[in-house]
Amino acid sequence: MRKLLLSMLLSMGFGQALYADMEDDPLTTMFLMDRFEVLNNAENIRVWEGSFWIGYDIDKLYLYSEGEATTDELESSQNELVYSRAIAAFWDAQIGLAYDKNTDASKTWAEVAISGLAPYYFESRAALLVNGDGNVGLRLDTEYEALFTQKLILTPSLEADFYTKDDAKLSIGSGLSNIEAGLRLRYEIRREFAPYIGVTWEKTFGNTRDYNPVDETNFLLGLRFWF
């Protein structure tokens, strides 16, 4: 893994020379905890969804992580490490690895994704995954920011996951596996720091529902922060 990281960094041209004493494209990083929230349900599930990137205008290395935990244990998480390259004005192509984990099992996937800003300002991402069992997954994500004021921002979001095979251990079934819709209203005390309230609706379908029947609506309280 370290080797992979290193070669990725090198191929991205880290350490390029300065030009004319002005650097238009300095090495930049960003850590964003987009969702860090607690649900108002029986177990008071904690949810996080965040990302970190390091890189330049065109080439970046992204780390994504999202998951759920109860008060005493980690329930499940999805993690990705991808090399990301700008291929169009608003779009990045990504390639890398994904790692899913729950209390019983874990699985590594190879992944390609496309991520960016769609017309009408929909921040969107589509990831295609394949693992050693030959299971192919498609994970779709989109969200929109509606400004009520310059600081009060409503974010509707929609996620849907699909798979070609059943995987009982990971509780995923073939076909449409789950849908999650969210509505979060945040107040940016500073751009970097925003508490929010929200509501999510999550439902599992098909075989996934047999492994893990979910159909619930939860209110939530959270914090969004970045640096």
Partner 1 sequence: MDGVPGITFDGIDPGETFTYTFKVRQHGTYWYHSHSGFQEQTGVYGAIVIKPKRKEPFRFDRDYVVLLSDWSDEKPNTIYKKLKQMSDYYNFSQRTVGTFIDEVKKKGLSTAFNDRKMWNQMRMNDGDISDVTGYTYTYLMNGENPTTQFKALFRKGQKIRLRFVNAAAMTFFDVRIPGLKMTVVAADGNHVKPVSVDEFRIGVAETYDVIVQPRSNKAYALFAQSIERSGYALGSLTPDGHTLAKAPSMDSVPKLTMVDMGMDMSSMGHGGGMKCSSGMKMPNKKAMKKYKFKAMEDQKYPITKLPMKRGLHTTMMAMSPKYRLDDPGVGLRNNGRKVLTYADLKNRYSTRKHRKPDREIVLHLTGNMERYMWSINGIKYADAKPLQFHYGERLRITFINDTMMNHPMHLHGMWSDLETGDDNRLVRKHTVIVQPGSKISYRVTVDAKGAWAYHCHLLYHMAGMFRKVVVT
Q: How far is the CB of 189 from partner 1 (least distance, A)?
A: 13
Q: Rule CB under 8 A: is residue 42 a binding residue for partner 1?
A: no
Q: Rule CB under 8 A: is residue 146 a binding residue for partner 1?
A: yes
Q: 58 near 85, Cβ under 8 Å? A: yes
* Of positions 30, 74, 95, 168, contacts partner 1 by CB under 8 A: 30
Q: Using the minimum distance from each CB to partner 1, give the nearer residue, 24 or 73.
A: 24
Q: Using the minimum distance from each CB to partner 1, give the nearer residue, 21 or 72.
A: 21
Q: How far is the CB of 18 from partner 1 (least distance, A)?
A: 8
Q: Rule CB under 8 A: is residue 120 a binding residue for partner 1?
A: yes
Binding segment for partner 1 (CB under 8 A), chosen from 43-51, 99-107, 145-153, 198-206, is 145-153
Q: Rule CB under 8 A: is residue 148 a binding residue for partner 1?
A: yes
Q: For the segment 65-104, give every residue that binds partner 1 (CB under 8 A).
A: 86-90
Secondary structure, 3-state, 105-165: CEEEEEEEEEEEEEHHHEEEEEEEEEECCCCEEEEEEEECCEECCCCEEEEEEEEEEEECC
Q: 154 near 183, Cβ under 8 Å? A: yes
Q: 199 near 183, Cβ under 8 Å? A: yes
Q: How many residues bind partner 1 (CB under 8 A)?
A: 29
What's the full length of the chain, in residues? 227
Q: Rule CB under 8 A: is residue 19 a binding residue for partner 1?
A: yes
Residue type, 137: G
* Of positions 6, 40, 41, 57, contacts partner 1 by CB under 8 A: 57
Q: Rule CB under 8 A: is residue 15 a binding residue for partner 1?
A: no
Q: Rule CB under 8 A: is residue 150 a binding residue for partner 1?
A: yes
* Of positions 25, 43, 104, 216, contacts partner 1 by CB under 8 A: 25
Shortest CA distance to 47 belongs to which of 226, 200, 155? 200
Q: 48 near 67, Cβ under 8 Å? A: yes
Which tokens is 120 given?
A: 């009408």
Site of tokens 């379908």: 205
Residue type, 125: R
Q: What residues line the site for partner 1 (CB under 8 A)?
A: 19-26, 28, 30, 57-58, 86-90, 117, 119-121, 146-150, 154, 191, 226
